[in-house]
Amino acid sequence: MNNKTIFKKLDSNIPDSEAKDLLLAYIKKQLERQKNDPQASEAIAYKIAGLLSTRFARSLAENDSYLRILQIAGNLELPDRHRDGTSWENLTNLTNALEKS
C-alpha cells in the first residue's frame, strides 16, 4: 500500500480497528524499507508522520500507542540532534509490541 492510499483510507470514515490494522501493516512495510535503505530514513519518516493529519490520527487519545508511533516518526524526520533520543529502534519496538497485542 502506498502513502497516498493509506492516507485516503485513514482519512475516511473506516472503523478504528480496520484503521489500526492498516496502519500497523503500513508501518511494518516502512520499517522494512528503512532497514533496506537507511539513506531514505528521513523521507520514510516524513511520509509516516504525514499521517498525523488524517481523521484517524486526530481521533486517537493522547496516550494511544498508534498515535505514539506517528509521533516517533515525526521525530525521526528531524536531523539527529533534534530527535530527543528517538530512534528507529524505538519505532520498531513499539510496532512489534502492538503486533503481539
In the 3-class helix/strand/coil scheme, how is the chain assigned residue by residue?
A: CCHHHHHHHHHCCCCHHHHHHHHHHHHHHHHHHHHHCHHHHHHHHHHHHHHHHCHHHHHCCCCCHHHHHHHHHHHHCCCHHHCCCCCHHHHHHHHHHHHHC
One-letter amino acid for residue 9 of the chain:
K
pLDDT digits (tens, 9 = 90+) for 11-48: 999 999 999 999 999 999 999 999 999 999 999 999 99
Domain that holds residue 71: 3-100
**Number of domains, the chain:** 1
pTM exceeding 0.85: yes
CA atoms within 13 A on the CB side of 32: 6
pLDDT digits (tens, 9 = 90+) for 35-85: 999 999 999 999 999 999 999 999 999 999 999 999 999 999 988 888 888
